[in-house]
Amino acid sequence: MAKKNYQVACIALIIVLVLEMVNYKRRLPLLIAAAVLIAVTAIHGEVISYYEHLSGYRLKGMPLIMNVTMGLQGDPYQTEGRCCGWVDGYNEVEFKRAGYDPAAASAVGMRDFKERVSFFIQNPVFARDFFNKKLISTWCDPTFQSVWSGPTQEWGAQPAKTAFLRSLYGGGSVYRALELFEDCMIIFLYSVCAAGVALQLPRLMKKAPGGVSAPEHMDRLNSVMLYFVLYYLGGFSFHMISETKSQYVYVYVLCLIPAAAAVLSRSRESESL
């Protein structure tokens, strides 16, 4: 939870807990939200303090704007190399040039960020194609680069010693079958969750009629679905702006599984009424 992108989960949880407090007129969700906020802040500080103690140096850290600006780099029309918004070393190079001074690096990052945004505004077709390619390369790879990160022949990495692994990492029938299966899974998850949000949105903020157990249970399902959908949307927004890679975002997609389960459970309850 010390990493900024994982703090999205905490923000989503706090939002849901605050809504729970409003809906159910209870203080406990607010206390839990406060505890989560304190715990995340403390963990972040303790991790930094631990590494400072081990190294004997005060860790200044790279400004977040450097990663955000790097997430806006790239050319959607190039056919080789890294995709739009992928890590390209910009943050490390500019941080080094700034003498590892966070204030100086932040100024450079903000300057380049404004220049890039201005370029997007002046070239809307380029911006559309950029974010379209960034979206597809990040969220539409069904393997989430799990195969790409392995011993693929393209990179000349550790050789695959069995026929099964050679087929998997060499783009053979095993890889194609895996890709097809995961394509179906991703389409199913996205479709069910989108349908659930569209159908249940009017009821997500619905107050529980106190003392009635079944509707309260259904509202709990709303809270479950709302949390995971908020987590996904937060991660989606974060990585569409900041540095991205498909392998970074699989945790958000995995969290759509309980959201989809909540939608299907809601559907079955509605049918039984």
Taking alpha carbons only, the member of 55, 73, 188 closest to residue 130 is 73
Amino acid at 25: K
Residue 6 has pLDDT above 90, yes or no: no
Both 246 and 131 in a single domain?
A: no
Six-digit token string for 266: 């809601």
Both 254 and 163 in a single domain?
A: yes
Q: Rg of the chain over CA atoms, in angstroms?
A: 22
Taking alpha carbons only, the member of 86, 106, 90 closest to residue 98 is 106
- Residue 273 falls inside a structural domain: no
259 by Cβ neighbours in 10 Å (0-12 / 13-18 / 19+) ranks as buried
The boundaries of the domain holding residue 119 are 63-137
Q: Which region, left, alpha or beta, applies to residue 138 given φ > 0 means left and ψ of -120 to 50 means alpha?
A: alpha
Select the highest-mean-pLDDT range: 21-25, 165-169, 195-199: 165-169
Both 145 and 123 in a single domain?
A: no
Both 24 and 96 in a single domain?
A: no
Amino acid at 162: T
Please report which confidence band the pLDDT of residue 261 belongs to, taking 50, 70 and 90 as the band edges: confident
Question: What is the arithmetic mean of pLDDT over 112-121?
Answer: 96
Both 74 and 190 in a single domain?
A: no
pLDDT of residue 194: 86
Q: Which region, left, alpha or beta, applies to residue 25 given φ > 0 means left and ψ of -120 to 50 means alpha?
A: left
Both 83 and 144 in a single domain?
A: no
